[in-house]
Amino acid sequence: MPTKENPEKNLYILSFLNSIRPLSPELRNYLAQKIKSCSFEKNELINKAGEVCDCLYLIKKGMVRGYFISDASEITTWIDSENEVFTSITGFFRNQKSEEYIQSLENTYCDYLKYEDYKYCLNHFPEMRHINRILLEEYYILAEQRVYLARIPNARKRLEFFMANMKPQIMDRIPRKHLASYLAIRPETLSRLMKDKN
Arithmetic mean of pLDDT, 130-141:
88
Arithmetic mean of pLDDT, 57-69:
95
pLDDT at 59 over 90: yes
Any bridge partners for residue 85, and if so which? 58
Sign of CA dihedral 168, 170, 176, 182: negative
pLDDT at 178 over 50: yes
- Please, which pLDDT band fits residue 2 given cuts at 50, 70 and 90? low
- Please, which pLDDT band fits residue 123 given cuts at 50, 70 and 90? very high
- Ordered DSSP codes for 81-141: -TT-EE--HHHHHS----SSEEEESS-EEEEEEEHHHHHHHHHH-HHHHHHHHHHHHHHHH
Q: Shortest CA distance to 55 belongs to which of 40, 69, 29, 35?
A: 35
Q: What is the mean pLDDT of the chain?
A: 88
Kindly report, residue by residue over 24-38, the tens digit of the pLDDT. 999 999 999 999 999
The pLDDT, as a whole number, for residue 173 is: 92
The burial class, CB within 10 Å (0-12 / 13-18 / 19+), for 31 is buried
171 DSSP assignment: G
Kindly report, residue by residue over 42-55, the tens digit of the pLDDT. 999 999 999 999 99
Any bridge partners for residue 61, and if so which? 109
82: how many CB neighbours lie within 10 A of its CB? 14
Q: State the amino acid at position 195 in one-letter form.
A: K
Kindly report, residue by residue over 109-119, the tens digit of the pLDDT. 999 999 999 99
Choose the weakest-confidence range: 3-7, 83-87, 104-108, 171-175: 3-7
pTM: 0.87
